Structure 1
């Protein structure tokens, strides 16, 4: 059934949102199931229904003690007459119910997946290593690439393609220096510097493996750190700001 109005579309999105939130969180720590579109849609709809019912039950109890929310019995008895004069209360009720349902979905997934460690990346693993996990203080991503024919390359990351297929995925190193070790050459004396070239592009199909190092402006080694949730990062930023500027804060008071 296709929604025929903006209100119906919003209602549909509100109903499926908790299930989508739960599914998105779940796939971070569990591989997605191989199933038909009907089974996937049914699972999202069922989980949405469960969280929506739980959230609605809680909100009905809250509405009985909070005047800012609608009178549920009057609203259900004559919605056509009640809604025009109380649309703000009804809108607040529906908004809080949706937020609560999504929070319940997050809490339930966190509880059921507590023993699972690590994140499953939905996109390219190259993106996670070369972009997402780069420390904030890093100024350079340095690579050591070993190809299938035995050639080894060292240099700073210039760029890469985000595709997941080896046929289209490529990576380039550039800057100065770019160093190369030919197949079967002596690692102690065989490294040569490619001064005449600005960058080297290597196809993923030719790469056996590559090593990644994060460096700061002074060339010191940095380690990738797990990214905290956005609210934790915001709290840390606020605390750092308050700690750095006590005089300005006192003056503003």
Structure 2
């Protein structure tokens, strides 16, 4: 039998590490949608299984070229603790390489998927509409310029400073900044005023009638 502690440690790494890495890197490029605990565990386990299997196949191919560099899996299974004790460094190196390759593949896959635009592939997605319009669909060399009209008729023009990612209904905010931060109070008949003193203008989502978004060249 394979030593229980080593087998448990390896199983834990192989089942958790690649899937967790895939989720962490994915969530950096876009916010995650709300999921049940069972679904999150299933996603982690399934993605880990895919990347672990791929990693084992890669190492299997290399072991045919350099068999002395890797464990002899059939011998390890048949001899168990005797083989592991006699080849401890080889076992540790092989396990480390397998997990490392699996984690690397998971990070690479998540990064590649995050770079793909969702606008043409998935126009309807379970994500924040604000995030999609203000961030996800914005080219990297552009900035989001927004016109926000509030319920009382006030209009605000400015670049997006920050906004609440979570879709919490009206319990979220968006802040605007310059250059060019402009506020028009009292409806369309009043004169727009350029804000030269105040740096940011923060608005609650509950006060927003609509947003108009353009992607302009970044300005300092």
TM-score w.r.t. structure 2 length? 0.60
2:207 counterpart of 1:215: no
Q: Which residue of 2 aligns with 1:11?
A: 11
Determine the C-alpha separation between the residues in 2 that align with 1:156 and 1:58.
Answer: 47
Q: Which residue of 1 aligns with 2:192?
A: 192
Q: Which residue of 2 aligns with 1:226?
A: none
Determine the C-alpha separation between the residues in 2 that align with 1:75 and 1:152.
Answer: 71
Write out aligned runs for 1:75-94 (5 A): 75-94=76-95
**Unaligned regions of 5+ residues in structure 2, if any?**
114-119
Q: Which residue of 2 aligns with 1:178?
A: 182
Alpha-carbon RMSD across the aligned residues, in angstroms, is 4.9
Identify which range, 204-213 or 140-149, moves more after superposition.
Answer: 140-149
Q: Secondary structure at the match of 2:86?
A: coil
Q: Which residue of 1 aligns with 2:121?
A: 117
Write out aligned runs for 1:33-182 (5 A): 37-38=37-38, 41=41, 45=45, 48-49=48-49, 52=52, 55-56=55-56, 59-60=59-60, 62-66=62-66, 67-98=68-99, 103=105, 106=109, 117-118=121-122, 124-127=128-131, 129-130=133-134, 137=141, 141-175=144-178, 176-180=180-184, 182=186
Q: Given that residues 172 and 202 in structure 1 are in contact (C-alpha distance below 8 angstroms), is that contact kept between their aligned partners in structure 2?
A: yes
**Unaligned regions of 5+ residues in structure 1, if any?**
111-115, 219-253
Greater length-normalized contact order (CA 8 Å, ≥ 6 residues apart): 2
Change (3 A) 1:128 1:5: farther
Q: Secondary structure at the match of 1:166?
A: coil
Q: Given that residues 64 and 71 in structure 1 are in contact (C-alpha distance below 8 angstroms), is that contact kept between their aligned partners in structure 2?
A: no
Aligned residues: 204
TM-score w.r.t. structure 1 length? 0.54
